[in-house]
Amino acid sequence: MTLRVLTRYHLELLVRSQRWLAPGLAYVVVLGLGLSGGDDTAGAAAFSAGLLVPVAGWLVRAAVGAEPAQSRACLVAAAGWPRVHLAALLAAVLAGLGLGLAGLAAAVLLGSGGSGAAVAAGALATVVCVLSGAAVGALCNRPVVTGAYAVPLGLGGVVAVLLVPGSPANAVVRALVLGARGALSVPWWTLPAALVLAAACCWAAVAAAVRRGD
């Protein structure tokens, strides 16, 4: 069973189980409350992207817990722990990207009609923040962290990713906020940095899944 097939299965399971509804609706409601007609596109895109960090982490939690234990055991027997858990993480990333692109489109349509650079920076921020949130979710949910500590650790990770200077999500959101007030400087380095961060955290989560068999 290929990783592509497993990812599609986990994505369909996430949708059918309706576990995406809570993070999805939270994103839509908060975004709707925060956006208004005529907002600067860069600022609106920064708001949308920043929301995606906790939402992506929440989607990871939903995706890795969506499958019943017996069904998961059958998948593991057919494909192995690494691909099964990695597919769940990828499904959460794809769901986050879908929400983020829809949010960015809303920010552009409702905004003041920003430049192509602002839209490109918004797309970059969307991808970077989804990857950063997924990295936090991969480390702060099963099988790495289980029990009552998962949620507070995840919230702490989200705050750190958004507020610690030098993190990809902080850099790209800050650039958009500053760009709404003046010249926009797009920090393209944040994309490879976020990819490396997400890959490392997903590798750690997959390794924990293999070691613990969970």
* HEC string for the chain: CCHHHHHHHHHHHHHHCCCCHHHHHHHHHHHHHHCCCCCCHHHHHHHHHHHHHHHHHHHHHHHHCCCCHHHHHHHHHHHCHHHHHHHHHHHHHHHHHHHHHHHHHHHHHHCCCCCHHHHHHHHHHHHHHHHHHHHHHHHCCCCCCCHHHHHHHHHHHHHHHHHCCCCHHHHHHHHHHHHHHCCCCCCCCHHHHHHHHHHHHHHHHHHHHHHHCC
pLDDT band with cut points at 50, 70 and 90 for residue 2:
confident
Residue 112 confidence (pLDDT) above 80: no
Residue 38 confidence (pLDDT) above 80: no
Least confidently predicted of 39-43, 136-140, 150-154, 163-167: 39-43
pLDDT band with cut points at 50, 70 and 90 for residue 53:
very high
Q: How high does pLDDT run on average in the chain?
A: 88
Higher pLDDT, 200 or 142: 200
pLDDT band with cut points at 50, 70 and 90 for residue 113:
low
* Structure confidence by residue, pLDDT tens digits, 121-158: 999 999 999 999 999 999 998 888 877 788 899 999 99
Structure confidence at residue 131 (pLDDT): 97
* Structure confidence by residue, pLDDT tens digits, 60-83: 999 988 887 787 778 877 777 788
Residue 84 confidence (pLDDT) above 80: yes
